Amino acid sequence: MLNLANGRTLYYGKGDVLTYRTYAKPLTVNSIPESSFRGDSNVIFAHNLTFSVSSEQLLSSFTEGDNSIVVATDSMKNFILRHAGQFNGSTTEGFLAFVSRRFFETYAHITAIEIRGDRIPFQSLQVRGEEGFEDSGLVYRRSHNDHASASLVYKRESQGTQLVSHWCGLTDLQLIKVSGSSFFGFIRDEYTTLPDSYDRPLFIFLNIYWCYTNIEDAAEADLERYVPAEQIRDIAHHVFHEYKTPSIQYLIYQIALLILTRFPQLSEVRFESNNRTWETVVEPDPVTHAGVFTEPRPPFGFQGFSLTREDLDHNEETAVDSNASAGKINQP
Ligand SMILES: O=c1[nH]c(=O)c2[nH]c(=O)[nH]c2[nH]1
């Protein structure tokens, strides 16, 4: 949300600007041990953008109906779409930065911009080729799974425009671990009806957000230091796989530790999680493990947690590797 210098909220803009750019520059990233993700062809570089602007000078458009310096939100939409064609980079963050920079250059009275982009994922499909199956390169499948996102806030200052805040994210990740999660030992009193569970089918919804220490790394793609959402996703499922977790709280802490360990360029990681543990209908058979489950009923529990690099530095002894050798409460 954009504010003026006196703290007054004043902004306007356009949401749901669907931008389907084809054949953007391919992305190549460094590898990490938990992920096979090495980049993206960016044949489809698609985003849903929300763009808003602010300026002291726009006050009269609210108080007097003076539209003389109002850029119509319809024009903002056109601006974003046209500039998508000129973008030479390969990341969501870079695209948001490019559009913002061009908008400031074009409209001198705009003093602040907030821009958010949600990547719309399209998955490559395989077709029969001369030497077996190969990526079609032409036909893609729209995915409604988790997706990358980013948000940048710029302010025009005397020395030029500055990126003043940012976050990058992976939203709507939904993971199920069919066995190897427990929840017991919590307060048991006259309000408690939940039985102890020593092996529950843990289904979680997760949003993960991260920030870079050097704010410029978030926007101006130095790809050596770029953190792709796909690698964050892969770290999350690796930790989930490896650890026998006593709670979602503990699980997201372990994911946070590994993310900050793998990516020293990040200053903070933040989680929002939601508990969707499947309801057991037929207990798993001790021999075949076959069980039957259904959707849980509302209301649903949730957790929020952030970990900064400072927290990590103050807490070296809990770092992931030492934790692993300490026997991961989890190891199956
Ligand atoms: O991982 C969990 N954490 C909780 O705090 C909680 N509370 C609850 O009822 N189930 C769970 N699961």
Structural domain boundaries in the chain: 12-157, 171-318
Query: What's the DSSP call for residue 186?
Result: -
Q: Which atom of ligand 1 is nearest to the CA of 202?
A: 1
Query: Among all chains, which residue has been given the structure tokens 């602040």?
Result: 112
Residue 5: predicted pLDDT: 82
Amino acid in the structure at residue 279: E
Residue 3: predicted pLDDT: 84
Q: What is the mean pLDDT of the chain?
A: 93
pLDDT at residue 294 greater than cutoff 50: yes
Residue 204 phi, psi dihedral angles, 5° rounding: -125, 145
CATH topology of domain 12-157: Urate Oxidase (3.10.270)
Residue 150 phi, psi dihedral angles, 5° rounding: -160, 155
- The yes-or-no answer to whether 12-157 and 171-318 have a common fold is yes
C-alpha 179 – ligand 1 centre gap (Å): 16
| Cβ-based burial of 291 (10 A; exposed 0-12, middle 13-18, buried ≥19) | middle
Residue 326: predicted pLDDT: 36
C-alpha 226 – ligand 1 centre gap (Å): 34
Annotation marks residue 213 as catalytic? no
Q: Across residues 320-327, what is the average pLDDT?
A: 44
Tokens (6 digits) for 259: 């993310």
Q: Across residues 270-284, what is the average pLDDT?
A: 97
pLDDT at residue 146 greater than cutoff 90: yes
Q: Across residues 86-110, what is the average pLDDT?
A: 97
> ipTM surpassing 0.85, yes or no?
yes
pLDDT at residue 217 greater than cutoff 90: no
CA distances, 210 to each of 229, 259, 282, 324 (Å): 10, 9, 40, 24
pLDDT at residue 253 greater than cutoff 50: yes
C-alpha 183 – ligand 1 centre gap (Å): 7
C-alpha 50 – ligand 1 centre gap (Å): 34
Q: Across residues 244-268, what is the average pLDDT?
A: 97
pLDDT tens-digit readout, 74-95: 999 999 999 999 999 999 999 9
Residue 257: predicted pLDDT: 97
> Confidence class of residue 231 from pLDDT cuts 50, 70 and 90?
very high
- Nearest C-alpha to atom 7 of ligand 1 is from which residue? 301
> Confidence class of residue 329 from pLDDT cuts 50, 70 and 90?
low
CATH number for 171-318 (one of 3.40.50.150, 3.10.450.50, 3.10.270.10, 3.40.50.300): it is 3.10.270.10
Sign of CA dihedral 23, 29, 35, 36: positive
pLDDT at residue 328 greater than cutoff 70: no
Calpha distance 152→112 (Å, rounded): 11
> Confidence class of residue 4 from pLDDT cuts 50, 70 and 90?
confident
Residue 316: predicted pLDDT: 65
Residue 28: predicted pLDDT: 93
C-alpha 191 – ligand 1 centre gap (Å): 14
pLDDT at residue 332 greater than cutoff 50: no
Q: Across residues 132-154, what is the average pLDDT?
A: 97
pTM comes to 0.93
Q: Across residues 195-208, what is the average pLDDT?
A: 97
Instruction: Find all residues with CB under 8 Å of 135, minimum gap 6, and list them.
Output: 41, 124, 125, 126, 127
pLDDT at residue 114 greater than cutoff 50: yes
Q: Which atom of ligand 1 is nearest to the CA of 181?
A: 1
- Nearest C-alpha to atom 4 of ligand 1 is from which residue? 247
Determine the Cα angle at 330 with ends 327 and 332, to 5°: 100
Weakest-pLDDT range from 91-105, 221-235, 238-252, 282-296: 221-235
C-alpha 55 – ligand 1 centre gap (Å): 45
pLDDT at residue 139 greater than cutoff 50: yes
Ligand 1 first shell, C-beta below 6 A:
183, 194, 247-249, 275, 301
- Nearest C-alpha to atom 3 of ligand 1 is from which residue? 247
Residue 318: predicted pLDDT: 53
- Nearest C-alpha to atom 2 of ligand 1 is from which residue? 247
pLDDT at residue 243 greater than cutoff 60: yes
- Nearest CA among 42, 48, 99 for reference residue 228: 42
| Cβ-based burial of 112 (10 A; exposed 0-12, middle 13-18, buried ≥19) | buried
Mutate to test the pocket of ligand 1, among 184, 186, 305 (most ligand atoms within 8 A of CB): 186
pLDDT at residue 322 greater than cutoff 50: no
Annotation marks residue 73 as catalytic? yes
- Nearest CA among 272, 295, 114 for reference residue 203: 295
Catalytic residue (one of 25, 50, 73, 261)? 73
Q: Which atom of ligand 1 is nearest to the CA of 275?
A: 12
